[in-house]
Amino acid sequence: MAARSHDWPGAPIAVLLGDPDLPDRSKPGGRFTADDHDQVERLRAALEKLAGHAFEFRRDHGALLESLRADPPAFALNFCDTGFRNDARQELHVPAYLELLGIPYSGSGPVPLGLCFDKALVRALAQSLGIPVPDERLLGPADDLPEVGFPAFVKPNRGDGSVGITQRSLVHDAAQLAEVVAELRRTPVGAELLVQEFLPGAEYSVGILGNPGLGFDVLPVLEVDYDALDPALPRLLDYDSKTDPESPYWRDVRFRRAQLDAAAVRDLGARCETLFARLGLRDYARFDFRADAGGRPKLMEVNPNPAWCHDGKLAHMAAQRGEDHAALLSHVLEAALRRCRAERG
């Protein structure tokens, strides 16, 4: 039977988030934006609706380690998707530290967070499991440009939130490829690059709640709706689509329920459950796919710590089945508490 929230001791749950006062080089201007602050306020309001739980927020990373050690919460909701000190490379260190302290927490552990930060590694694993993936070359800092077919897509191997992705990521010839590679190599995310087959078809996201052995709940599959976007612009979720309210990508790109038949939805869900288990993910995760020219969805990436925000893809999926932000957050928390109870036996 599913664990119920009121089974958990009544002590406040610590919500771990990025530090709004520290620089964050993944954000425009290198700092938290007005939208980031608004997201946290909306999170606070949604969590207040969850009956039977009290929440306290821990956001000051200068004090975080000492505060967790000296005043360990009974449970932590790990929504720190910026990484420790807002460094994406240290996203995995937050759950690692919680584990060292024996604090139970929501979401995936350090190993899957580390694995999924390397998109080429996830692609290789997915391929070994028979999951369709795009053709791809991995470029190290000193590697020559590969011979690939065009159009192609260039992106950082280790990146998140579309950092390093622009309209120019879609390249049509060797000269454009050379230009974009050179440009990316001058940025902090440019050390390892992927040159991929461009996937021109529909873009899907699959959200999963639950855990192997305890049952999965696959949320309605989402499709990125590019219909309102200026047809002259390439169809992709670039950095501006996630950070710049003035951008046509932010303004005109929407999400809708995927236009897929039931068998295709089942197939996608089954692939994601396989990956979820093999990667050792926990509680919730999001998987991004895009279809090739033949309409076959191929895996772009796995997000083991996906956006929890009110207008993120997971929230849009929940809305497709009539659930609000608070309901989504409650599902995440309940999946984690249920797993923790099962682990305790």
Ligand X SMILES: Nc1ncnc2c1ncn2[C@@H]1O[C@H](COP(=O)(O)OP(=O)(O)O)[C@@H](O)[C@H]1O
- Which residues in this chain contact Mg ion in the complex, by CB under 5 A? 288
Partner whose footprint covers residue 338, from Mg ion, ligand X, none (CB < 5 to 8 Å by kind): none
Using the minimum distance from each CB to Mg ion, give the nearer residue, 273 or 288. Answer: 288
**C-alpha distance from residue 59 to each of 23, 56, 79, 140 (Å):** 13, 10, 10, 35
User: How near is the Cβ of 99 to ligand X at its closest, in Å?
Assistant: 25
Using DSSP, state whether 63 is helix, strand or coil: helix
Of 196, 217, 195, 192, whose CA–CA distance to 206 is shortest?
Answer: 217
Q: How far apart are CA 91 and CA 77, in angstroms?
A: 14
Binding mask 135-154 for ligand X (x = CB under 6 A): ------------------x-
The nearest distance, CB 145 to ligand X, in angstroms, is 17
| Interacting partner of 308 out of ligand X, Mg ion, none (Cβ under 5 to 8 A depending on kind) | none
- Residue closer to ligand X (CB basis): 46 or 116: 116
Closest to ligand X by CB, 26 vs 39, is 26
Assess contact for 77 and 333: CB atoms under 8 A. Answer: yes
Interacting partner of 290 out of Mg ion, ligand X, none (Cβ under 5 to 8 A depending on kind)? ligand X
Please, which residues have CB within 8 angstroms of residue 315's CB and are 6 or more apart in sequence? Answer: 309, 325, 328
Question: What is the DSSP track for 30-69?
Answer: GS--HHHHHHHHHHHHHHHTSTT--EEEE--HHHHHHHHH
C-alpha–C-alpha distance, residues 11 and 268, integer Å: 38
**Using an 8 Å Cβ cutoff, are 291 and 67 in contact?**
no
* Range 156-185, binding ligand X (CB under 6 A): 159-162, 165
Say how far apart CA 229 and CA 100 lie, in whole Å: 47
Nearer to Mg ion, 205 or 330 (CB): 205
Pick out residues in 13-52 that bind ligand X (CB under 6 A).
none
Contact 53, 74 (CB under 8 A): no
Q: Which two tokens stand for residue 141?
A: 């800092």
Which among 101, 103, 99, 102 is positioned nearest to 113, based on CA atoms? 99
198 binds, among Mg ion, ligand X, none (CB under 5 to 8 A by kind): ligand X
Q: Which residue is nearest to Mg ion (CB)?
A: 288
Q: Is 221 in the site for ligand X (CB under 6 A)?
A: no
N-term to C-term CA, the chain: 13
The 268-307 site mask, x for binding ligand X (CB under 6 A), equals --------------------x-x---------xx------
Q: Which is nearer to ligand X, 219 or 222 (CB)?
A: 222
Interaction of residue 203 with ligand X, rule CB under 6 A = yes
Pick from 32, 84, 97, 198 the residue near ligand X by CB under 6 A. 198
Nearest approach, Cβ of 291 to ligand X (angstroms)?
Answer: 10
Which stretch, 5-13, 43-51, 88-96, 196-204, contacts ligand X (CB under 6 A)? 196-204
Give the integer Cα–Cα distance in Å for 284 and 278: 14
- φ and ψ of 262, to 5 deg: -60, -35
Footprint of ligand X on this chain (CB under 6 A)?
134, 153, 155, 159-162, 165, 196-199, 203, 236-237, 288, 290, 300-301
